[in-house]
Structure 1
Amino acid sequence: MALGSNLGGAGMGRRATLAAAIEAMRQAGLVPSRVSRFFVTPCFPAGAGPDYVNACIVLRDAPPPRRLLDILHGIEAEFGRHRTQRWGARSLDLDLLAQDCEILPDRAGFDAWQGLPPDRQASETPETLILPHPRLAERGFVLVPLADVAPDWRHPVLGRTVRQMLADLPVEQRAEPVPT
């Protein structure tokens, strides 16, 4: 899963917010088995707010995806997250990227969201959980920290490892995340 903050939450800075969110996950019964370094990355989309601090974690024995998402949304709310603007600035963003090799809601649903044109991506929100995250392979700010914790995880639709997906990105996208 991916973590990000570009506003900080609960009176903390961005980095402290991520560290506190990981602790909140532990308190909620989630067990991080691996935590990436923290990275400063430009806001996405460009101009939508201050730079982010991003990280990725791997959870051990995670609950089923929809239950996990409910827990993550509860933690986001504790840190002041309000879902008012798609791709807007946020106190805390916890994204479920994948769970093993599961494809949700099904292959056709995944394909529909992965193929969504950019203008619709910015304005539409799925009504159901889509796994793996349909933009996972396109985002250096996700793949760089994910490579810290799961470089050999293979995308169940694309058949590519994190390391391969990262190598597929333009050099400038791979260079954007800077360890903090």
Structure 2
Amino acid sequence: MSPDILLQLLHEIETEFGRNRKTRWGQRTLDLDLIAFGDRILPDLEGYHAWESLPVDRQQLSAPDRLVLPHPRMQDRAFVLVPLMDIAPDWRHPVSGLTIRTMVAALPEADIDAVRPL
């Protein structure tokens, strides 16, 4: 299946669990994100860099009009990277070339320690 179809399925699951997409980055009952899809860069390298370099305050006000992969903020999020260490520590980010292991090592220790299993 394509990344767009997979994302659509993830959104359907969120809806089944009561997710309502009225407020960007608002409270949610369930949040399923598509972080990466192999080594694909979507929509393209230029589009990826445009979103990655957009200041966070501007990201909060607008959403991309299409899927951006890999997730432009994955390298900053311990809650994404720490669990990925368990399943794919050697996966390489298709833009930066960094492995999950390397990205985790660059995170603040407090952020890593704050990630707890459910």
TM range (shorter): over 0.9
- Aligned counterpart for 1:117 among listed residues 55, 59, 68: 55
TM-score, normalised via structure 1 length: 0.64
Kindly provide the amino acid, as one letter, of the partner of residue 8 in structure 2. Answer: D
- CA drift of 1:130 comes to 0.2
**Runs of at least 5 residues in structure 2 that lack an aligned partner in the other structure:** none
Give 1 or 2: higher helix fraction.
2
Q: Where in structure 1 do 4 or more consecutive aligned residues deviate above 4 Å?
A: none
Q: Secondary structure at the match of 1:99?
A: coil
1:155 counterpart residue number: 93
- CA drift of 1:179 comes to 2.1
Q: 1:10-29 to 2 correspondence within 5 Å?
A: none
Tell me the distance in 1 between the aligned counterparts of 2:56 and 2:3.
26
1:79-133 deviations in Å (ceiling 9; x for gaps):
1111111111111111000010000000000001111112112111101000000
Q: 1:1-180 to 2 correspondence within 5 Å?
A: 63-180=1-118
**Runs of at least 5 residues in structure 1 that lack an aligned partner in the other structure:** 1-62
Give 1 or 2: higher strand fraction.
1
Q: How many residues align?
A: 118
Kindly provide the amino acid, as one letter, of the partner of residue 16 in structure 2. Answer: E
